[in-house]
Structure 1
Amino acid sequence: MAQLYYKYGTMNSGKSFEIIKVAHNYEEQGKPVLIFSPSIDTRAGTNKVGSRAGLSRPSIPVDDKTNLYDLVHKHLADMKPKRIYCVLVDEAQFLNKEQVIQLTQIVDELNIPVMAFGLKNDFQNQLFEGSYNLLIQADKIEEIKTICWYCDRKATMVIRFSNGVPVNEGPKILIGGNEDYKPVCRKCYNNAFKSK
């Protein structure tokens, strides 16, 4: 029976690498998958999922108007045989509530497992819309762990930087890499803003 999995972690926890690995494992056995990624994230190139380890692979771009259920249904209609073994979603925190519901429909109505990967909270420690709804709807939730940039505790938050200085104000969504965000533990997050 198919299930909706939500695998979350901070920046640098290997979420995109995990998607690439899972897709490879399915496809090596001749089992097709679909990979979705946000159209606003072009760090690995247009319509690609990329990991900091240097691996990347093609993906289907998603914006806030994309109907994920319809896209999967269309791909099924065009395939011979009509089978998708898994749907993988990168940066799932950017999904809206309707898109998370569409993921549940892919699982419940099409009987296709869905694995969504993303951040849980933003740089202000607020849940993203997609994360909030995935935490409610997912059948299984798993944390992908990594360590704090500054100490050896588990990272559970991210600090955003502007010109090398930690900031906790600004737009909720700003696509960036190691120069813009660092994974940190709660203590190091709070210490970064104590003098402010």
Structure 2
Amino acid sequence: MATLNFIYGTMKSGKTLTLLAEAHNFKSHNRNPYLLTAAGDTRSGIGVIRSRVGITASAQTFDASEDLYEKIRQSHLENQIDIVMVDEAQFLSRDQVFQLSDVADELGINVRCFGLRTDFRGELFEGSAALMALSDHMSENTGVCASGCVANMVLRMGTDGVPMIDGPQLLVGGEETYEAVSRKIWKERMRSAMNNPSRAVV
């Protein structure tokens, strides 16, 4: 029986590296992995998945309006897909997570989704919340906070180096925008930012 899996973690926890390594292993056995990434994430180019260590792979893209079940079904009819791997899964809509569960349940293709669990405010992304509700299996890739503790939260940094306390949930950015930290550090720095009367809100 095929399964839907959610692998989550902060930035720099190795999620994308894991995805690319698994995809490489499938290809080395003449298997066909179907890679998907968010259309809005163009940091490495359109339809490119890139790890911070420099490994890349081409991928199909998705936006919030697409029916991923139909997209994958059509591709599967043309060239049999052995596994679906989704990068930046926090950008999925709730409906798209249901569609990916249909890929597993109706097409019999394993689906592995890699993404963030929570945003800079400590709130679940829509896609991540749906994955946590529907996934057969979940696992966490852990990063390291500058404090030496496990990094399981993310701060969105302003240009002045102070954490942002408000703003749009979905905002593509790298290390210039986000910082992975432990929960303790996240709480301390968010509380400090909230008590700063000059803190800009975007």
TM-score class, shorter-chain normalisation, is over 0.9
Q: Secondary structure at the match of 1:167?
A: coil
Matched, 1:172 2:169: yes
What secondary structure, in the 3-state scheme, does the structure 1 residue paired with 2:128 have? helix
TM-score normalized by structure 2? 0.93
Q: Which runs of 4+ in 1 moved over 4 A?
A: none
Secondary structure, counterpart of 2:61 in structure 1: strand
**Count of aligned residue pairs for this structure pair:** 192
Cα distance in 1, alignment partners of residues 30 and 190 from structure 2: 50
Other-structure match for 2:199: none
TM-score, normalised to structure 1's length? 0.95
Corresponding residue for residue 43 of structure 2: 43
| Deviation for aligned residue 1:45 | 1.0
CA offset at residue 146 of structure 1? 0.9
Partner amino acid, structure 2, of 1:91:
E
**Residues 15-34 of structure 1 correspond to what in structure 2 (within 5 A)?**
15-34=15-34
Q: What displacement does 1:194 show?
A: 3.3
Aligned CA-pair RMSD = 0.9
1:145 pairs with 2:142: yes
* 1:158-191: CA deviation from partner (whole Å, max 9, x where unpaired): 0110112211211111111111101101111112
1:132 correspondence with 2:129: yes
Secondary structure in structure 1 of the residue aligned to 2:188: helix
Q: Give the secondary structure class of the aligned counterpart of 2:20.
A: helix
Cα distance in 2 for partners of 1:110, 1:170 equals 39
Residue 100, structure 1, aligned to residue 97, structure 2: yes
Unaligned runs of 5+ in 1: none
The 1-side partners of 2:5 and 2:169 are apart by 24
Structure 2 residue matching 1:2: 3-state secondary structure = coil
Q: What's the CA shift string for 1:42-75, capped at 9, x where partnerless?
A: 1111111111111111111100011111111111
- The separation in 2 between residues aligned to 1:53 and 1:95, in whole angstroms, is 25
**Are positions 1:185 and 2:182 aligned together?**
yes
SS in 2 for 1:34: strand
User: How far apart are the structure 1 equivalents of 2:57 and 2:191?
Assistant: 41
1:72 aligned counterpart, secondary structure: helix
Q: Distance in 1 between matches of 2:97 and 2:113?
A: 9
Task: Report SS of the residue matched to 1:193.
Answer: helix
Percentage of pairs with the same residue: 38
